[in-house]
Chains A and B, each alone.
Chain A
Amino acid sequence: MSARVTRSSRSSRAFAIIAGCAVVILIAAPWWAGRADMRLFSEIFLYLSLACLWNLLAGYAGLVSVGQQAFVGFGGYVLFGLAIFWGVSPLFALPIIAILGVLVAVPVAALIFRLRGAYFAIGTWVVAEIFRLLASQISALGGGSGTSLPVSVVKSIASSRATRESVVYWTALALAILVIITTVFVLRSRKGLALTAIRDNELAAGSLGVEIWQTKFIVYVLTAGLTSAIGALIFLQKIRITPDAAFSVNDWTAFVIFMVVIGGIGTLEGPIIGTLIFFVLRETLADLGTIYLMILGLVAIAIMLFAPKGVWGYVKSRYGIELFPITHRVKFEEE
């Protein structure tokens, strides 16, 4: 009998096949889904991406940010600025925006990394507030009341409405897949091992030689860039932007935190399951308005108190299932 170490498991192989089929079906959505469904799907993909990134930040790097709306809004505003001032086509602008997001995140991180733990969280929020106030000072982008994307720029994506909507939809899907693949690769890399160590015990990780500051910095800056690109796509779909909508703590951080916490923080599967649960709740309860938001708050508190590992944490500890091949396992084989 020989033993070998592998990362894949029966569940991860089955999931890869199912996920592959799901992606093919989703790529074909413009041919089988209605317009409203496609809008909903795009929104799910964008939220899924935000949730995966926040999970990487808070669940692995221990950087609990309540200010990711800074980068969502930044991406949105840069998209509108590039389009309105220089006529840059939105889809071409996405990679530029991701790079700009990274560049902006460098000085931000240098400043707020001086704050520890929960103070770091509020520091990120202050940064988001500063971004919001600065955006509302730009009179060429409508100041506090915001602005719309010019028709010519919208038309530059594709002349017919149906094609345009399909293109935005595919871009959102591609971005979600990119984010998931990026997080899987980050976690399988050396840095990922460092991150998992930091997640489990920061002090111990540091004493074993893990570069904590540097690792956290890379994760922060990387998520900032991707979050900016997601923000750009969110507001490309909305066609209109205002400082309050772009830098909303509820829309871009509270909901995202809710998804990750419910699904299971510190696991890759958690944010995906959490996003699906969130949208099921929203589609069934959103008519309740503020009551619905109160229910969300209550559920988040209850989960944190009674099941802090979330839905996937429970499944994982109970059944040992893992959908993404991350953990090393020892496999015994008969010869």
Chain B
Amino acid sequence: MDWVNSILQGILLGGLYALFAAGLSLIFGVMRLVNIAHGDLIVLAAFLGLTITSTFGLHPLAAIIIVVPAMAVIGYLLQALILNRTLGDNILPPLLVTFGLSVLLQNGLLEIYTADPQKLNAGAISTANVALGPLYVGVQPLLMFGVSIGVIASLQWIFYRTALGRAFRATSDNAEIAQLMGLNKAHVFALAMALSMAVVAVAGIFLAMRTSFTPASGPGRLIFGFEAVIIGGLGNLWGTLAGGVILGVAQAIGAQINPGWQILAGHFAFLVVLAIRPRGLFPRVEH
């Protein structure tokens, strides 16, 4: 029963990893940009949530309503003012600029919030649980998993059913032709980053409700998100969810064998997928 329980916990944790990954996957899909500061932006959202909950006495879930638009604005400005200048054939500038941003964010957060571990107190919801047959499942992990699926479904819908999604796909396929058709590439990219950061905001609040975090937590989140993207297959949002779940389950199994192996087991799952299915388990079907 311990095993079933820990695997179930792993699946639920995988939802959070999919949230870490979805924003990364989105901007890669639209503009081939890999944001090294992605994890640090998740942590920035967590700290924004901390400031808002402690200043206004809001519940963390209510703080999402403020943090999501705030991060979206930050994302838009980041892309429009800085990252758009780095895009081109050379992969070095975007990589190094986001790497510099990562160093900047980590140390800026350290300066403001110190290195003390912080956590968002979600009150009664964090200890409530429901019986699922012989198992008890926490309400909070269940809620987070449900929201993750909802977020992925919404992104999928935006991508394939809305004018914005059409703009994303068109710019991704051929930015020059999309410009000729009246799309403003810089604006489309900035909107993609804004959407990515809105997802990051949800991920950051959930991270902060689930575990304690410090300004140095970012790189670890980036790596989990990245592994979920690669396991699931590039450019496939539902695959990313599956990748997150596989990563979460691998970590849960590792932890069940030996607590020291939790993270290591996740990394090994990633390497195994890379070795046998380098394009991920569910690569996007080329139309």
Interface residues of A (CB under 8 A from B): 58, 62, 64, 66, 111-112, 114-115, 117-119, 121-123, 125-126, 129-130, 133-134, 136-137, 249-250, 254, 257, 261, 265, 290-291, 293-294, 296-298, 300-301, 304-305, 308
> If the complex has contacts A254-B99, A297-B101, A305-B85, are A125 and B219 also in contact, measured as CB distance less than 8 A?
yes
CB distance from A272 to the nearest CB of B (A): 19
Pairwise interchain contact A130-B219, C-beta atoms closer than 8 A? no
| CB-CB under 8 A for A133 and B104, given A114-B274, A121-B36 | no
Nearest B residue to A121, CB-CB = B95
Nearest-CB residue, chain B, relative to A255: B103
- Known contacts A122-B222, A122-B226, A304-B86; is-contact A296 B103 (Cβ 8 Å): yes
Query: Which listed residue, B97, B264, B275, touches A111 by the CB 8 Å rule?
Result: B275
Assembly CA distance A291 to B112 (angstroms): 11
Convert B26-69 into 0s and 1s, putting 1 for each residue whose CB lies closer than 8 angstroms to a CB of A.
00000011101000000000000000000000000000000000
Closest to B216 in A: A250
Contacts of B271 in A (CB 8 A): 111, 126, 130
CB pair A133 B82 closer than 8 Å: no
A119 B226 Cβ-Cβ under 8 A: yes
Q: Report B83 CB to chain A, min CB distance, Å.
A: 10
Which residues of chain B come closer than 8 Å to A137, judged between CB atoms? 260-261, 264
Contact with A along B69-104 (1 / 0, CB 8 A): 000000000000010011000011111110111111
B99: chain A residues within 8 A (beta carbon): 66, 254, 257, 300
Measured in the bound complex, the distance between the Cα atoms of B107 and A296 in whole Å is 10
Bound complex: CA A3 to CA B274 (Å): 54
B222 closest partner in A (C-beta): A122
Do A265 and B103 form a contact, CB below 8 Å, given A117-B34, A291-B111? no
In the bound complex, how far is the Cα of B34 from the Cα of A66, in angstroms? 13
Distance in Å from the Cβ of B44 to the closest Cβ of chain A? Answer: 14
Total residues of chain B contacting the partner, CB 8 A: 42
Q: In whole angstroms, what is the CA distance A62 to B100 when docked?
A: 19
Asked whether, in the complex, the Cβ of A130 is within 8 Å of the Cβ of B103, the reply is no
A126 to B103, CA, bound (A): 18
Contact at A130–B91, with CB atoms within 8 Å?
A: no
Distance A114 CA – B267 CA, assembled complex (angstroms): 16
A116 to chain B, nearest CB (A): 9
Whether a CB of chain A sits under 8 angstroms from the CB of B278 is: yes
Q: List residues of chain B with CB within 8 A of the CB of A126.
A: 223, 226-227, 267, 270-271
Cβ contact of A300, chosen from B32, B82, B103, B267, cutoff 8 A: B103
Residues 258-284 of B contacting A (Cβ, < 8 Å): 260-261, 263-264, 267-268, 270-271, 274-275, 278
Min CB distance A79 to B, Å, is 23
| A126-B226, A305-B85 given; 11 more Cβ-contact pairs under 8 Å | A64-B92, A64-B96, A112-B274, A118-B33, A126-B223, A290-B107, A293-B103, A293-B106, A294-B103, A298-B100, A308-B92
Chain A residues contacting B36 (CB-CB under 8 Å) are 66, 118, 121-122
**Cα–Cα distance between A36 and B250 once the two chains are bound (Å):** 48
A129 to B32, CA, bound (A): 25
Asked, given contacts A114-B278, A125-B219, whether A297 binds B91 with beta carbons under 8 Å apart, the answer is no
Residue of B nearest to A250 (CB): B103
In the complex, what residues of A have CB within 8 A of residue B170's CB?
Answer: none
Contact between B222 and A301, CB atoms less than 8 A apart: no
| Chain A residue with Cβ nearest B105 | A297
B223 touches A129 (CB 8 A): yes
Q: CB-CB < 8 A to A254: which residues of B?
A: 99, 103
Q: Considering the chains assembled together, what is the distance between the CA atoms of A299 and B33 in angstroms?
A: 21
* Distance in Å: Cβ of A219 to nearest Cβ of chain B: 16
Pick the 3 closest A-B CB pairs, nearest first.
Answer: A118-B34, A297-B104, A297-B103
